[in-house]
Structure formats: C-alpha cells, structure tokens
C-alpha cells in the first residue's frame, strides 16, 4: 500500500508575490506529491505550505523548496511579525497514511542532513527529533529570533545540531522535525488594536506560562485589519479542542471590554476538530458521524 506523509513547510516571505510563487513552484506538478495549498501572510511576512506525498519524492520536493528559499530570501533584510530564524524556517513532517511516526523521524533526519550537505545551512532538530527536551519546543530554538541567534549560536546550548556553531549569514538556519500529528494553526481576531490585550491573553492560554499544555500562542497586530489577534499553534486538538480555548479567549477578552470578531484557520485540520466545535456550540445530542453524508463516499 502507498505511504503518504503530510508536510507543512514555512518560509520567511509573505509579501513578494513573485518570490512566493517561485518557491512554491518547487513542489508543483511533481509525481507522487500534491500541493494542497499555500498561505502567504504579509503581516507575518511568512508563507505556510501544505503538501502530501510519498516519502521519496516528497523529500526531494522539500529540499528543492528549501534551496529556492535560501537563494531568494535574505534574512539580513527580512522582517515580519512572526518569529523566525531562517529563510526556510521550518520543515515539519507528520505520518498521514500507512506510515509510522518512526519512519517520519528517520525521514526528518535524512532531510536535515541533506539541507546542510547540499546547501551548507545549519539545522536544528525539534519535535520528535529534538536532541534534548528544551529543543522539542520551537519557542526555545527561536528565542531572540534570527538577529539574536546570529550572536549566540556559538554557545553550546544555542548551537545548531548540524553544521558549525553559527548561522548562515543570509539564510540563517532551518528547523526540521517529525511529529505524531500536524498542529492546527488558529488566529482569534479581537475587536481592538491594543496589542497589549492580545499579548496578555496569549500569555494566559499558552502552556509555558501556565495555560494549556498543548497551546503555543502569541499576540499579533494585523496592519491591514487594524486589529490584533491571539495567534495559536494547537499541538493536540484532541486533548485541547478549539472550542475550549476559544471560550477562554472570549471570556478573557470580555474583561477588557473587547469582543471576538472572527476566527481564522490557517491551513488544513482534521474533520473531527470542527465536529467537536459543532457538538459544543450547538449542543448536539447523540450525533453520529454517519450523519455527515460525505463520509459515506469512501465506501463507494
């Protein structure tokens, strides 16, 4: 049976359309690989790409994308609202069909080794590939971002896992990881432009500062909307459903006289994540997944 892996690479450009298209072109029209979609964000100055594919062609597609990111994005000139340390900032992969987590961990190791071997860009391993407990978290690796890490990468606790104890002068470094399930990225937009409100709520809901253990969150300002948002990476929506965090954010925002005006889902997510929201907010009783008509298509 065919094996398929889900990859969600992020590169540090969300404004220059021609650069974005050239980088994304590296994963288009490749046999054994499907580009699901890509999500440029000018405020973040970052693009999230979603791909599924068979292990071998997916690996090459991801490496080709990284090469083009290194070529076209100069971190000395890049700025944006999203934490980042490199042109091809992250390459996370997850098992999708007929693939084990162990196989994904092995593939992530291969990708990391090839990134440095081919392009001489240092690599940090995170997630299941982390060399120590601290590096399981992207927050720890990205602390201080590109600018600070350029000055600190010579320290043993901050040095890359592959490559010299330094960052590439223009490409920075790349974080490669494998995980059991893909994270879900959610922005909860607030009816205010007061960034302090968003930062306060983000600090309250994220795990490292005493909130939900499976949530990483920051407060961000969206210039185009003149609004702030609590931007979250939800690492396990089974343990911490979207609706649970949403209600906490809504209640906390109410303390400041602020309402929630919208929720954005960045990229894909499991169907179950939205079903659990419907069950909660609609108070569904005895709901059966077979009541979703599209679920019967797989049997045809």
- What is the separation of C-alpha 67 from the centre of its chain, rounded to a whole number of angstroms? 19
Q: Where are the beta strands (DSSP E) in 153-197?
A: 174-178, 184-190
* End-to-end Cα spacing for the chain: 19
Q: Where are the beta strands (DSSP E) in the chain?
A: 4-7, 10-11, 33-41, 46-53, 88-97, 123-127, 174-178, 184-190, 215-222, 227-234, 260-266
Catalytic annotation, pick one of 6, 82, 154, 286: 82
How far apart, in whole angstroms, are the C-alpha atoms of residue 144 and residue 136? 17
- Give φ, ψ of 194 to 5 degrees: -85, 100
DSSP states of 206-269: BGGGTSBTTEEEEEEEETTTTEEEEEEEES-TTTS-HHHHHHHHHHHHHHTT--EEEEEEES--
Across the chain, which distance is largest between two alpha carbons, in Å? Answer: 58
Is 6 an annotated catalytic residue? no
| Eight-state DSSP code of residue 82 | S
Residue 256: Cβ-neighbour burial (10 angstroms; 0-12, 13-18, 19+) = middle
How far apart, in whole angstroms, are the C-alpha atoms of residue 48 and residue 43? 13
Residues designated as active site: 82
């Amino acid at each position: 049976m065919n094996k398929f892996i889900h990859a969600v690479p992020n590169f540090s450009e969300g404004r220059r359309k021609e650069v974005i298209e050239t980088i994304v072109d590296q994963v288009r029209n490749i046999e054994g690989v499907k580009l699901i979609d890509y999500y440029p964000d000018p405020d973040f100055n970052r693009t999230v790409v979603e791909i599924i594919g068979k292990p071998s062609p997916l690996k090459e597609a991801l490496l080709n994308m990284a090469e083009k990111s290194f070529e076209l994005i100069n971190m000395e000139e890049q700025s944006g609202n999203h934490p980042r340390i490199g042109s091809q900032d992250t390459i996370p992969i997850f098992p999708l069909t007929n693939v084990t987590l162990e196989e994904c961990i092995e593939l992530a190791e291969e990708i990391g080794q090839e990134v440095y071997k081919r392009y001489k860009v240092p690599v940090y391993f995170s997630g299941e590939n982390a060399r120590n407990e601290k590096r399981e978290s992207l927050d720890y690796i990205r602390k201080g971002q590109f600018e600070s890490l350029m000055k600190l990468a010579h320290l043993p606790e901050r040095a890359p896992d592959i490559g010299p104890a330094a960052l590439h002068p223009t490409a920075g470094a790349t974080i490669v990881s494998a995980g059991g399930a893909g994270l879900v990225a959610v922005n909860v937009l607030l009816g205010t432009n007061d960034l302090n409100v968003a930062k306060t709520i983000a600090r309250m809901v994220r795990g490292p500062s005493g909130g939900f253990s499976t949530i990483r969150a920051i407060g961000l300002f969206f210039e185009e909307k003149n609004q702030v948002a609590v931007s979250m990476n939800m690492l396990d929506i089974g343990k911490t459903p979207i609706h649970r965090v949403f209600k906490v954010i809504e209640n906390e925002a109410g303390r400041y006289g602020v309402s929630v005006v919208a929720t954005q889902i960045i990229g894909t997510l499991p169907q179950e994540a939205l079903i659990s929201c419907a069950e909660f907010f609609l108070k569904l009783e005895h709901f059966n997944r077979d009541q979703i008509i599209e679920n019967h298509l797989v049997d045809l």
